[in-house]
């Protein structure tokens, strides 16, 4: 469980790095830059929270294996690959938004599974709070996209 949580924390950190990169490198309105900066800070906070719980003496039987270490490692490799890819090629606002939205959808699913599967009540509550935060992130991206689409008409 501890290794799984540490991998989850690392995933959060890489996604925060992706959002910081977007905020710094993508030509976009300041409102979107601010959204990415806020979300990077949120991902950093999620990583700190998860690392805190990973330090607690956890029983290996506290989680059902719906999210395996292999899956977590594969997802970590995927987000690292995304970060490496965006750093080697220019990225436009639309593509950055698409990537951001997909990352949030994936995180929401992973955290929702962990919130349900983790038997430790405190850790489950932490993941439930993160789920709510990821839902807010998705809503922010969707609202921004709607506002841009509305302004284009």
CA 91 – CA 112 distance, rounded (Å): 30
Q: Which parts of the chain fold into alpha helices (H)? A: 2-25, 30-55, 69-88, 93-117, 121-152
- Alpha-carbon distance values, 49 to 9, 24, 31, 69, 141 (Å): 8, 25, 27, 19, 24
Choose the CATH number for 2-152 among 3.10.110.10, 3.30.70.120, 3.40.50.280, 1.20.1260.10.
1.20.1260.10
Return the pLDDT at 87.
Answer: 92
Which tens digits make up the pLDDT trace of 88-135?
988 999 999 999 999 999 888 888 877 777 777 888 888 889 999 999
- Alpha-carbon distance values, 52 to 2, 39, 91, 152 (Å): 10, 20, 34, 45
Task: With cut-offs at 50, 70 and 90, classify the pLDDT of residue 57.
Answer: low
In the chain, where are the structural domains located? 2-152
Task: Pick the closest to residue 105 from 85, 134, 81, 79 (CA basis).
Answer: 134
Average pLDDT, rounded, for the chain: 87
Q: pTM for this structure?
A: 0.88
Decide: 69 and 116 in contact? Cβ < 8 Å: no
**Exposure pattern of 78-93 as b/e (b: 16+ CB <10 Å)?**
ebeebeeebeeeebee
Question: Is it the case that residue 53 has pLDDT exceeding 70?
Answer: yes
**Sequence-distant (≥ 6) Cβ neighbours of residue 146 within 8 angstroms:** none
């Amino acid at each position: 469980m501890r290794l799984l949580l540490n991998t989850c924390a690392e995933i959060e950190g890489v996604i925060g790095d992706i959002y910081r990169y977007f905020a710094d490198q993508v030509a976009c309105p300041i409102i979107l830059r601010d959204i990415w900066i806020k979300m990077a800070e949120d991902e950093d906070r999620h990583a700190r929270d998860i690392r805190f719980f990973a330090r607690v003496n956890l029983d290996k039987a506290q989680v059902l294996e719906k999210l395996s270490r292999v899956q977590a490692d594969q997802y970590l490799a995927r987000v690292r690959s995304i970060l490496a890819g965006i750093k080697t090629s220019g990225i436009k606002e639309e593509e950055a938004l698409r990537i951001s939205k997909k990352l949030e959808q994936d995180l929401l699913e992973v955290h929702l599974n962990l919130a349900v599967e983790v038997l430790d009540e405190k850790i489950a509550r932490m993941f439930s709070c993160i789920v709510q935060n990821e839902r807010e992130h998705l809503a922010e991206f969707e609202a921004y996209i709607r506002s841009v689409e509305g302004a284009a008409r």
